[in-house]
Amino acid sequence: MHHLKLASVVVGLSVASSGFAATEVAWWHAMGGANGEKVNEIAKAFNDSQDAYSVKPVYKGNYTETMTSAIAAFRAKQQPAIVQVFEVGTASMMAAKGAIYPVHQLMRESGQSFDESTYLSAVTGYYTDGDGKMLSMPFNSSTPVLYYNKDLFAKAGIKHAPKTWQDVEAVSKQLQASGVSCGFTTAWQSWVQLENLSARHNVPFATLDNGFGGLKTELAFNGPLQVAHVTKMGEWQQNGIFSYSGRTNDGAAKFYSQECGMFTESSAGYAGIKRNATFDFGVAELPYWQGQVKQPSNTIIGGASLWVLQGHSEEEYKGVASFLSYLSRASVQADWHQFSGYLPITKAAYDLSKGQGFYAANPGTETGVVQMTTGTPTGNTKGLRLGNFVQIRGVIDEALESVWSGKVDAQTALNTAVERGNAQLRRFEKAND
């Protein structure tokens, strides 16, 4: 008993003595559940690795709530040093002149060695400026893939995972013939079935390189490819090949219950599917339309990045830079990638995961990485940079729902969404000129 008491006193002293010196760095994030616990673990490991800085992670609710909290805190001059912002908030963060401290500048001014070429360009591209300099640090990036039920496939005599949307239709009919009620469902319909559909076929979602070229961008997702795809999905909704499951990722329930044999969802959905599926499943790349492209292009990312906010001391910024360097270490990145299903952000983390035999032991976990790093990103596949994007996605959801319910044809629905979405873009442009 006596020894335990003494040990706790010693531990207490060492914490106290280093506690005075450590500069606190607040990190607001939106990671709940198991990923939230992992965030705490990452911060603790960094804090334990040195005694100059102490990173304090604070969970602020979902992505929208976290971003709103940070903006309110900034106005009240109580902002954290680091905030996690989802990818659709990128244009808003960039427009907040004087609020952000670009990561490339922070690293340079803090004297941290920082080589942007070590990061996967398909991931960092989303968060770079016109000169290719990183504005924020990618933290959790994912891309949509196709999950399929291997048991149902075997029962229906299906030998291969679908590669094209034509395959998806044929496979769905085979599944239905074997007694499965629905071919596939989707999560995040705007992200998967329009934003990534466009990138996969190297077709613009918006003008001016999907908004990377400036605030005068206009939406362009009512082109022939998108209209044909949404028309087809509307038909599939009527005959059960596709089954709509709502605007977020509620479709998972239909996949788990084996009502639907396939599910287009984020690569980061892997951990949840592995936990909940009572059947053997596979992971295939996001399908493309045969005849529309010879070679499909890379998909674009979802997820979030870490933004550094202005208004802190030089000492705090040294801590932030030191922490971001730590986060980029191959071992830290590989561990986070393997645990969460999010993509590795550096080539070294990918190589390390491969070398550790992770992909061989967990088939399907490499699919998103391979798909993301297909070819060189173009103006249509680097990402999307649109103001008021949260509102625009709401407009798109309404348009797609009007097609699924059979009320409106795809061309009319997408034309309306483009018109309404452009009004949001003009409002954003006016506010940030």
DSSP string, 17-64: HHHHHPEEEEEEE---HHHHHHHHHHHHHHHHH-SSEEEEEEE-SSHH
Residues 189 and 249: their CA atoms lie apart, in Å, by: 9
Distance CA(374)–CA(364), nearest Å, equals 16
Kindly report, residue by residue over 212-242, the tens digit of the pLDDT: 999 999 999 999 999 999 999 999 999 999 9
Q: Give the tens place of pLDDT for each residue, 420-433.
A: 999 999 999 999 98
Q: What is the DSSP letter of 372?
A: H
How do 137-142 and 302-308 pair as beta strands? antiparallel
Element spanning 283, H or E: strand 281-284
Task: Report whether 322 contacts 54 (CB < 8 A).
Answer: no
pLDDT at 15: 42
**Which pLDDT tens digit goes with each residue over 289-328?**
999 999 999 999 999 999 999 999 999 999 999 999 999 9
How far is residue 398's CA from residue 168's CA, in Å, rounded to a whole number?
A: 25
3-state class of 33 per DSSP?
helix
Write the CA distances from 227 to 39, 102, 400, 408, integer angstroms: 41, 38, 11, 12
Q: Would you call 326 helix, strand, or coil by DSSP?
A: helix
Please, what are the domains in the chain? 19-142+301-361 (3.40.190.10), 144-299+387-432 (3.40.190.10)
The structure's pTM equals 0.90
Confidence label for 146 from pLDDT (cuts 50, 70 and 90): very high
Residues 110, 321: contact at Cβ < 8 Å?
Answer: yes
Strands 82-86 and 302-308: antiparallel
**4 — pLDDT class (breaks 50, 70, 90):** very low
| Each residue's pLDDT tens digit, 274-298 | 989 999 999 999 999 999 999 999 9
Q: How far apart are CA 314 and CA 134, in angstroms?
A: 20
Arithmetic mean of pLDDT, 65-77: 93
Confidence of residue 20 (pLDDT cuts 50, 70, 90): low
Helix (H, G, I), strand (E, B), or coil: what is residue 146? strand
Q: What is the mean pLDDT of the chain?
A: 93
Q: Which two tokens stand for residue 216?
A: 């005068």
